[in-house]
Amino acid sequence: MSTSETMSEAPILSLTGIVKTFPGVRALDGVELEVLAGEVHCLLGQNGAGKSTLIKVLAGVHRPDAGSMVWRGEEVSFNSPLAATKAGISTIYQELDLVDELTVAENIFLGHEQAAGGFIRRGQMRAGAKAVLDRLGHGDIPATRKVGKLPAAAKQIVSMGRALSHDAQLLVMDEPSAVLAHDEVANLFRVIRDLTSRGIAVIYITHRLEEIREIGDRVTVLKDGRTSAVNLPARSTGTDQLVSRMTGRTIEYIFPARTERAEAPAGPPLLEVVDLSRAGEFVDVSLTVRAGEIVGIAGLVGSGRSELLETIYGARPAQSGEVRLDGRRLPPGRVPAAVRSGLGLAPEERKSQALILEDPIYRNITLATFAHHARGGITRASLEQTVAAEIADDLALQPRGVRRPVKTLSGGNQQKVVLGRWLLDPAVEPGSGAARRRASRGTRLLLLDEPTRGVDVGARADLYRVIRRLADEGMGVLMVSSEVPEVLGLADRVLVMREGRVLREAPAAELDEETVLDLVMAGSLLEVDSP
Amino acid sequence: MTEPVDVADHRPAGPGPADRGWSFSQWFRADASEPVRRNLGLVIVLIVLYAIGAWSRPDIFLHADRLWSNELTVLTLASSIGVVAIGMTFVIISGGIDLSVGALLALASVWSTTVATQSYGAATMVLAALLVGTIAGVVNGTLIAYGRMAPFIATLAMMVAARGLAQKISGKTTQVVSVHAITDIAQRKVLGLPLLVVIFGVVAVLAWVLLNRTTFGRRSAAIGGNGEAARLAGINVRRTQVLIYALSGLCCGIAAIMVTAQANSGSSDHGNLYELQAIAAVIIGGTALAGGRGTIVGSVLGVLVFTQITNLFIVNNLAIEYQLIAQGVIIVAAVLVQQFRVSSLRRGPA
Amino acid sequence: MTVRVTNRYSAGRRRLLTAVAVVAAGVVLTSCTSNTPKSSNSGSTSSSSSTGAAATGKKVRILFSGPVADHGFLAAINSFAKAEAAKYPDVDFKALEAAADAPSQIAAVQTAIAEKPDALIIFPQDGDQLTGVGKAATAAGIPVINLDRKFNDASAYRMFLAGDNYKVGFNAGTYIGQKLKGKPNSVIGEITGIATLALTKERSQGFKDALAIYGLKVSRQVNASFTVQSGQQAMANLLAAAPHLDAVFNHDDDQNIGSEAAAAQAGRKEFFIVGTACSNTMLKHIKAGDARIEADVTFTPAISATAVSMARLIAQGRSMPDLAGLPMPSNMLIDSELVTKDNVAQFEKFGWD
C-alpha cells in the first residue's frame, strides 16, 4: 500500500456550512472542513474559536443546527458518541478519559469488553491489548499495569490504542502534545506517521505552530466560529501567515521588548538560592534573581524545574541549601512564611493547583490576601470586589465582571487571575490608584511555572506583556517553561536545566534556540560551563 | 469552552467611601435572598409537610396556639441535633467528615455529669462539656492535619473510642442530674421561646457570620474548594483543619449540655446515630459532600425537615417504619431537586 | 502595615491564652471523671435460700456468656450473676469475655465448650444465631441454661429462663385499668422500646389485653429505643400530639428518665406513668411520690442470679426439694410483679443504675 494510493483525492470526511448555536452564542458559523484518508489535518485556532465545539460535533456529542457532514461518501448525523465511534471516528480529548484504577487492557477495551456469558475474558483482552499496542509500536507498555501508574505519554498511547480497538478510520486528537515532554512528542509523531501510512486520517489540534510544520499535511484555521483559511499546505505556509489568520496580528508582537537596564545595582540580590538540593529531583542549584529582572529556566518535564520552584516557595522542604530573600533566610517547607516574606507562585496545573473553579473571580484573585483585607477577622467582600476589579481592569481580564465563576474564563484569563492574586497590596486602599503592590512591599518575587500552558497565541502575548510590565515595576520574576522560544523571548537571563542540574546560565541575548534545545535534550555536554 | 454566561456585570461601580467601612445593612444585603433561593427544595418540602399536617391533624395545624406549641416542641427537639449539624457543616464544607459527633456528645454529657463534676456546680459542668468536646475535636483535627489520616478513618476511630470512654466513665449507668441550674436550661423560656431554641438560634447566627464573614470561614471553604490551591496561596491549611474539627467538637459540647438538660441525665447512649442524622441534614441542606460550598441555613432547614417529619408521624399515630421510609424518600427527593436546579443553572438561560 | 504588627502581637497573646486554657482544661477534666461517691449496689442480693437446695454439693464449674453491657440493665445482669455465684462455696464461676456481636459470642461459646464446664449459661446476643452453639454444647454433654432470648430449638438448652414480658405489659395494663376503670374516654399513651424486638411486641400485647378487660385501649403509641434521649424525644412528641393524657406506660425505666424530663419541660402533670424494670432512680421517685411515675413492673436483671443457682443444681444432678422429686423444669418464666409506693421497700434490692 503506497502513500499515493491511500491519499486518494476523494475526501474521507467533508463538512460544509456547519452551524451550532448555544444560548447566547453562535459557536460555529458555517464551518468547512475536508479531510483526506491518510493525511494529518491540523486544526488551528485560538481558544474560543470553535475548535472544541467542532470536535464535539465530529464525536457525536453535539448535533449541528445546520450544514452537512459527509463521511466516507454518505451523509451522516451522529446522535451519540457511540454512533460516531461505531462509524469509525474516535476522539482523544485533551483530558484523557482513561480510568486510572483500571489496567491498560481494561481501558483499551472499556465499553466493549471481550466477554463470554457476562464473564470478562482477561486473557483474550490482554492479548488484544498487546496486539493494539504493538501496532502503535509500543508493545513495551505492560497491558496489566494500572493506567494511573503510567506516565502521561504512555497514557496518550493507551488512548490511541482504545481508538484503534474500535477500528477507527479517523482519529481526532485535541492538543495531544500539551502534556508531553519533547522526546515524547517525537515518539507521538512517529506513531501518528505510522497510522497515516495505513490510510488512517488524523485531525490534529495544537497551539504549537512548529508542530504543524513537523507533522501536518494541511491546515484549516478557525477564527470566531468561521473557517478563516482552508487546506493551507502545512510545510510551506509561513508562521506569520498562520498567526495572522488566527489573530489578525503578526508574530513580532508576541514578545514585549526587553527593557534596557543599567548594570546590576549593588547590595544583595532579591532572591538568592544557594546549593539547594532534594534527592532525586535536583542537586546543588544556586541562582539569583534581582528586582526588575526576569530569569527563565528552560528544561523539560522531569528536569527538576517545577520541583525547584516549589522548593524555593516552601511547598516542598529542601534537604540542603537555603533560600534567601533580601538576604533574609526563609524557613524551609513553609509556604505561609514565604508568602509573608513576599513570594508568590503561579503553579503548573492551573485548575488543580491554583484555582477554586466554582468560586467567583474575585475570590480567586483575593485568595492569598483576603485576610489582609479583613478587619478583626471579618472579611470585607465589597472591598475585595473593588480591589479585584481594579486588578482585573489592570490586566485587561475578559470578560469583565468579577463575580462570575472563574471556570467560565478561558485559559489565558484564568492565568491572569492567578497572576493577579499576587498583585494586591493590602496596605493600599482601593481608589488611591495604587491597588497593585509596589516593588518594595507585598509580593516582590513571582515564581511562574509554565505560565502559558494551554493558553492560545493571542492571550499569550497579553500575558507576556503583563509579566514584562511587572518586572519593569520592580518585581523579580523566576519563570519555568518547556517552550524554549518563550524562555528566550521573555527572560533577561536564562538557566538551562537537565536531570536536576543547572547546565548553563547566560543572558538570553547570548543564547539561541538550537543551543538551548541541544542542552535541554540529551545534547552534547562539551559546551557545559557550570555556573 | 468558554460559553458566555449571561451574567450582568456585578462589579461595584467604583471605589467610594462605602468601601472603607461596613454597615450592617450592607453586610447582610448581598446574601439576603441567597439562602432561600438555594434551598428552595427544602422550603417546598417544609410547606408540603405543613400542608399534610393541616390535612391530617387540622386540630393542631390549623389552630394558631396549638400549632405554635407544637412547632416549639419541634424546634426544641431539633435544637441539639441542629447545633451538631452546624458544626458538621463546616467540616463537610472543608472537604472532611466527622463521624465522631454522636460519640463526642455522649462523652461530653457523661464527663459533665459524673458525681464529681456535679459537685462543682453548673458552671463547671458546662465548662467540662465544652472542653471535652473541643479537645476531642482538636485530637481529630490533629490526626487528620498533621497525622495525615483520612477524616473518615480518624473520626471513625474517635467515634468508637469516645463511646467506649463514655461507657467506662459512666460505668454504663445513666447519670441523673441533680443540679437544677442544668435541668432548668431545658425548662426556661426567653421572650416566650424555650432557651434551647434560643441557643440553637444564636449558634446558627454566629455560625452564619463565621462561615460567610470571617477569614476562618473563607479558609474553610477554600480548603474544601481546592486544598492544593489554598495551600499554595499561603493559607495554613493544617491549622485551619484543626480549628474546624475543634469547632465541630465544641458544637458537640454545646449540644451535650442541651441533651443533658433535656434528658435530665448524662449517658453513654446520648447522641445515638447523631453522626448520620447530622450528615444527612447537611447534605440535603445543599452542602456538597466533596466540599467547597454549603450553607448554614440549608443545614438548619435540613434538621427542621427531619424533625418535622418525625413529629408529623407521631401526631398521626403512625409507626416508626413509615417514618424511616419517608426520611429516605425525602433525602433522595431533596437532593434531586438541588441537582436539578444546579444543572439547570449550569445550562444557562434557555 | 499595622496589620502585621497586630498579628504578631495577638499571636503571642493567643499562645499564652492557649497555654492557660490547656492547663485549666487538664485540671477541670481530670477531676471530673471520678464517680466514686456512687453507692455500690448489687452486692446485697440474696437468693431464695429457703429451698434446702443451698446445701453444699459437689464442686461445679459454671461458665457465663453474655452480650457487651452497653447500658445499665445489661451491666446489672453481669453483676447479679457474679454476686450470686460468690455465695456458693461449691461453684467455680467464670464470666466469658463479653461479646460485641453474635459471631464473636459464638466463637467465645465454642471455646467454652472445649473447656468442658459442668454448666453453661448463655445470654445470647441473638437467640436464633446462637442456637447452633447451644446445640453443640448440649451434644457435648454440657447442660445449657438459655437466659432471656430464646433459642429457636428446644434441644439446644436444658433450661430456658426468662422474665415474662407479656406479664410486664399485662401488670402495667391492670394497674392503669383499675385506676381508670369506668372512664372509657381516658387517653392512654405507650412509649415502647425498640419496635422490632419480640419483647417489645409481647409487652405491648399484654398491655393491650389487660386494658381491654377494663374497656380501655391505647390511644397513642410512640417508639423509643431504650435510651434516655429517645425517651425524652418520644414523650415530647407524645405531649405535642395529645393535649391531655391520663396515663402512660413506659417500657423502660432508663427511657423514663427522659420521659419524666420531657413532661417537666412541657409543664404537664395531669397524667401518671407506669415504668418497667425497677431502676433505682424510678424506685426512689415512687417512694417519694415526687414524679409522674406511680408504679413500676418488675423485669429484673437479678434473673441472672436465678440462672446461676439453677445451673448449679442441674450441674450437680440435683433438683429442688419443692418439686416433690421431679426433675428441674425445662422452661421457667419469672413472673413480673407490680411495685407501688406501698411495697416499694421490698424491691429496692433489685434496683439498678
List Cα–Cα distances, A335 to A287, A330, A338, A343, B224, in angstroms: 20, 10, 5, 9, 18
Among A337-341, B24-28, C216-220, C276-280, which is the least confidently predicted range? B24-28
- Residue C8 confidence (pLDDT) above 60: no
A362-376, B49-63, C15-29, C57-71: least confidently modelled range: C15-29
Residue A40, pLDDT above cutoff 90: yes
Q: Residues C247-266: pLDDT tens digits?
A: 999 999 999 999 999 999 99
Partner residue opposite A345 with nearest CB, options B1, B19, B232: B232
Q: Helix (H, G, I), strand (E, B), or coil: what is residue C186?
A: coil
Question: What pLDDT score does C75 carry?
Answer: 79
Q: Domain count of chain B?
A: 1
CATH number at residue B222: 1.10.3470
C51 vs A266: CA distance, rounded Å: 108
Substitution target from A205, A335, A406 for chain B, most B beta carbons within 10 A: A335
Confidence of residue C79 (pLDDT cuts 50, 70, 90): confident
Residue B3: helix, strand or coil by DSSP? coil
Q: Which residue has the higher pLDDT, B67 or A435?
A: B67
Q: Which of residues 422-441 of A touch B (CB under 8 A)?
A: 429-431
Among B11, B293, B344, most A C-beta atoms within 10 A, so best to mutate, is B11
A429 at the C interface (CB within 8 A)?
Answer: no
| Contact indicator for A212, A219 with CB cutoff of 8 Å | yes
Sign of CA dihedral B271, B273, B277, B282: positive
What is the per-residue pLDDT for B289?
A: 84
Interface of B with C in 104-143 (CB under 8 A): 111-112, 114-117, 119-120, 124, 127-128, 131-132, 135
Using DSSP bridges, classify how beta strands C272-276 and C247-250 pair: parallel, antiparallel or unpaired.
parallel
pLDDT at A439: 32
Q: Which cell is A294 given?
A: 526576569
In a domain, B17, yes or no: no
pLDDT score of A305 more than 90: no
CB A342 within 8 Å of CB A320: no
State whether residue A356 sits within 8 Å of chain B by CB. Answer: yes
Mean pLDDT for the stretch of residues A474-501 = 88
Mean pLDDT of chain C: 86
What is the model's pLDDT at position A2?
Answer: 40
Asked if C238's CB is within 8 angstroms of B314's CB, the reply is yes
Q: Which residue of B has its CA nearest to C28?
A: B128
Which of the residue ranges A136-150, A398-412, A418-432, B237-251 would you say has the lowest mean pLDDT?
Answer: A418-432
Q: Is the pLDDT confidence value at C90 over 70?
A: yes
Mutation target among C228, C232, C284, C292 for the B interface, most CBs of B within 10 A:
C228
pLDDT > 60? residue A81: yes
HSE at residue B204, side-chain half, CA atoms within 13 A, is 23
- Contact partners, residue A172, CB within 8 Å, separation at least 6: A55, A58, A59, A89, A90, A91, A92, A202, A203, A205
Q: Closest Cα of chain B to A212: distance in Å?
A: 22
Q: Does B100 touch chain C (CB under 8 A)?
A: no
pTM, two decimals, is: 0.77
Q: Which domains does chain C have, with CATH numbers?
A: 49-157+302-333 (3.40.50.2300), 165-297 (3.40.50.2300)
Asked if pLDDT for residue C68 goes beyond 50, the answer is yes
The predicted structure's pLDDT at residue B9? 37
- CB atoms B264 and C260 under 8 Å: yes
Full residue range of the structural domain in which residue B202 is found? 44-345
The dihedral built from the CA positions of residue C1, C4, C5 and C10, taken in this order, carries a sign that is positive
Which among C293, C289, C257 has a CA at the least distance from the CA of C275?
C293
pLDDT band at C246 (very low <50, low <70, confident <90, very high): very high
- CA A277 to chain centroid: 27
C109 to chain B, closest Cα gap in Å:
24
Least confident of A57-66, B285-294, B307-316, C20-29: C20-29
pLDDT of residue A316 exceeding 70, the answer is yes
Query: What is the mean pLDDT of the segment spanning A310-322?
Result: 94
Residue of A nearest to C2 (CA): A427
B145 located within any domain: yes
The C-alpha atoms of residue C267 and residue A451 are separated, in whole angstroms, by 70
The mean predicted confidence, pLDDT, of chain A is: 83
- Bridge partners (DSSP) of residue C192 are C223
Cell of C259: 420521659
Q: Parallel, antiparallel, or unpaired for β C144-147 and C159-163? A: parallel
**Which of A95, A434, A368, A51 has the alpha carbon at shortest distance from A220?**
A51
pLDDT at A25: 65
pLDDT at C331: 93
Residue of A295, A408, A334, A424 lying closest to A370 (CA atoms): A424
Does the interface ipTM go beyond 0.95? Answer: no
Interface of B with A in 260-299 (CB under 8 A): 292-293
Q: How far is B179 from chain C (nearest CA, A)?
A: 13
Give contacts of A357 with chain B, Cβ < 8 Å. 225-226
- Confidence (pLDDT) at C289: 94
pLDDT of A13: 93
Residue B206 grid cell: 454566629
CATH number of this structure's domain A254-342+444-531, picked from the four choices 3.30.70.890, 3.40.50.150, 3.40.605.10, 3.40.50.300: 3.40.50.300
If you count them, how many residues does chain C have? 353
Asked if A203 and A12 count as a contact pair (C-beta separation under 8 A), the reply is no
Percent of residues in chain A assigned helix, strand, coil, to nearest 5: 35, 25, 40
Residue B16 to residue A431, Cβ atoms within 8 A: yes
The C-alpha of B19 sits at a distance from chain A's nearest C-alpha, in angstroms, of 5
Q: How confident is the prediction along chain B (350 residues), in pLDDT tens digits per residue?
A: 333 333 333 434 433 333 434 444 544 444 445 556 667 778 888 899 999 999 999 998 999 999 999 999 999 999 999 999 999 999 999 999 999 999 999 999 999 999 999 999 999 999 999 999 999 999 999 999 999 999 999 999 999 999 999 999 998 888 999 999 999 999 999 998 999 999 999 999 999 999 999 999 999 999 999 999 999 999 999 999 999 999 999 999 999 999 999 999 999 999 999 999 999 999 888 888 888 888 999 999 999 999 999 899 888 888 777 888 888 888 788 777 766 665 555 444 33
Q: Which residues in chain B (313-332) have CB-CB distances under 8 A to chain C?
A: 314-315, 317, 319-321
Across the interface, whether the CB atoms of B234 and A356 are under 8 A apart is answered no
Within chain A, which residue ranges are assigned CATH 3.40.50.300?
Answer: 3-88+169-251, 254-342+444-531
- Residue B335 is assigned to a structural domain of this protein: yes
Model pLDDT for residues A206-248, shown as the tens digit of each residue: 877 778 888 999 999 988 788 888 888 988 887 777 777 776 5
Q: Which CATH class is domain A3-88+169-251?
A: alpha beta
Dihedral of the CA atoms A108, A109, A111, A117 (nearest 10)?
A: -160
What is the nearest CA distance from B160 to chain C, expressed in angstroms?
12
Residue of C nearest to A374 (CA): C3
Residue A157's pLDDT is what?
A: 85
For residue A397, pLDDT over 50 is answered with: yes
- Residue of chain C whose alpha carbon sits nearest to that of A371: C3
Would you state the torsion angle of the CA atoms of residues A179, A183, A189, A192, taken in this order, to the nearest 10 degrees?
-70
Our CA-based measurement puts residue C333 at a distance from the nearest CA of chain B, in whole angstroms, of: 26
Check residue A440 and give its pLDDT: 35
Contact list in B for residue A27 (CB cut-off 8 A) is 3
> Chain C within 8 Å of A337 (Cβ-Cβ)?
no
For C105-144, the pLDDT digits (tens) are 999 999 999 999 999 999 998 888 899 999 999 999 999 9
Read off the pLDDT of residues C204-242 as tens digits, 9 standing for 90 and up. Answer: 999 999 999 999 999 999 999 889 999 999 999 999 999
pLDDT at res. A488: 87
From chain A, the residues in CB contact with C1 under 8 A are 427, 441
Identify the chains in contact with C, defined as 3+ C-beta pairs within 8 A.
A, B
Range 359-418 of A in CB contact (< 8 A) with C: 372
Q: Is B176 on the interface with C (CB under 8 A)?
A: yes
Out of A356, A382, A430, whose CB is closest to B222?
A356
Give the whole-angstrom CA distance, residue B287 versus residue B283: 5
Model pLDDT, residue B339: 67
Q: How confident is the model at residue C35 (pLDDT cuts 50, 70, 90)?
A: low
Residues of chain B contacting residue A367, judged by C-beta atoms under 8 Å apart? 222, 229-230, 233, 235
> In chain C, which residues have their Cβ closer than 8 Å to the Cβ of A427?
1, 3
A44: confidence class by pLDDT, cuts 50, 70, 90 = confident
